A and B are shown apart, each in its own frame.
Chain A
Amino acid sequence: MTAPNQQPTIVVAVTGLNAIDSPGPGVAVIRAIREGMKQPVRIIGLSYETLEPGIYLHDVVDKTYQIPYPSAGLEALTGRLKYIHEKEKIDVIIPNFDAELYNFIKLGTTLRSLGIETFLPNLEQFEARDKINLYAFGLKYGLSVPKDKVIYHANELYACAESFGYPLVVKGKFYDAIIAHTLEMAQKAFHKLSAKWGFPIIVQQFIHGTEINIAVLGDGKGKAISIIPMRKLYITDKGKAWAGITLEDEGLIKLANQFVEATHWKGGCELEIMRTAEGTPYIMEVNPRFPAWIYLSAAAGQNQPAALVNMALGENIAPYTGYEVGKIFIRYAWDHITDVSEFQKISAFGEL
């Protein structure tokens, strides 16, 4: 038997270090991995901007490298990852942003040939659950989803309002959603979101109910390894959960199992649910990566990020069977102090 301190160190590279008011999941993913892995772990942060807080949290991230924005393309990302891999010998990469996932999925084979594992859905799965395709996705798999319309012109909003009524939800291609109660509000939302995220814009039927999110980890073969439902207790003006509580609800677990069985989802994802007063859970969105509150899964007894790392490394993980209900997370802001020399290093050299 090998003593724990003699086990090889697992090197995990993680993106999404922007622990701001609309936080990326990176820091929470790292916290869970550090707690849940039996082996020693070295964490490599992959950042896009110089002020992502995770870069400066040295007890969270061992070393950070900047990587090119997704718009720079596959070649730029591959070159940078090869450089980082030469130095760090990465075992697993966990990308945590919707906008970067396409590139990382496309690079899966290349990364594997370098000895870097990922645990991501394939492109078909990734695109099927896209907001643009969500309604067709729901129909195909028999899941309750709100009606929607994908539009490219503001003058299409009138027809949307005619068929869905007010309020309706105007959504950006990647992020953000605005509830509009009038045509004028919908037009304003359309222009704001298209300027920020581009086209198309998704207009969705408004479903009144309780907002619930479910963190899910699928094995890629139709089995859910972990399902943790959470109700938002405190929601920021950006719609983000600032506090939440784990729930016990067989209907939600069944829905998440149905989703994984139908899609053979591989990796982490978050189902955004609106449960109506009658108890029908509508899937409002499927986020193809761990949510920012994912540490709650570990705190409740199902460490999804650590399980993902183990599965990426080839381990067979049995589905979790229980979790603590009534576990609460309360997010807080903390002014981390650093020196300008640190800022200078990441700004000038792209490494810290």
Chain B
Amino acid sequence: MIQLRKNIASSDSGFIFNPATGDSYSANPIAADILHHLKSGKSVAEIKTLILGKFDVEAGQLEKDWDDFIAQLREANLTEN
């Protein structure tokens, strides 16, 4: 389970704001979707299923990109764990 920090603000357009640091980021549509699902408390497996159903992406590619994306979130200090 990946938990975003409670105070992280994000919009449907993919804008992410960390109020503790003042940093802001832009996420592409898939990343914005993932963030939305993470915020609503969905599990990793559920989110991956939703993404595979909605976007034209191979499961293998999603796995690879997923790890990169989560690493970026952690590096930006946007996750609790």
Contact = CB atoms under 8 A, between A and B. Distances in A.
Interface residues of A, number: 10
A278 to B, nearest CB: 12
Interface string A228-272: 000101000000000011011100000000000000000000000
B74 to A, nearest CB: 14
A325 interface: yes
Contacts of B7: 248, 325
Interface size class of B (residues with CB under 8 A): under 10
A249 B20 contact: yes
B66 interface: no
A247 B9 contact: no
A133 interface: no
Interface in B8-38: 9, 17, 19-22
Contacts of A325: 7, 19
A326 interface: yes
A210 interface: yes
Interface string A311-331: 000000000000001100000
A326 B19 contact: yes
A210 B21 CA distance: 9
Contacts of A210: 21
A101 to B, nearest CB: 30
Nearest to B17: A326
A306 B21 CA distance: 28
B22 to A, nearest CB: 4
B75 to A, nearest CB: 11
Interface of B: 7, 9, 17, 19-22
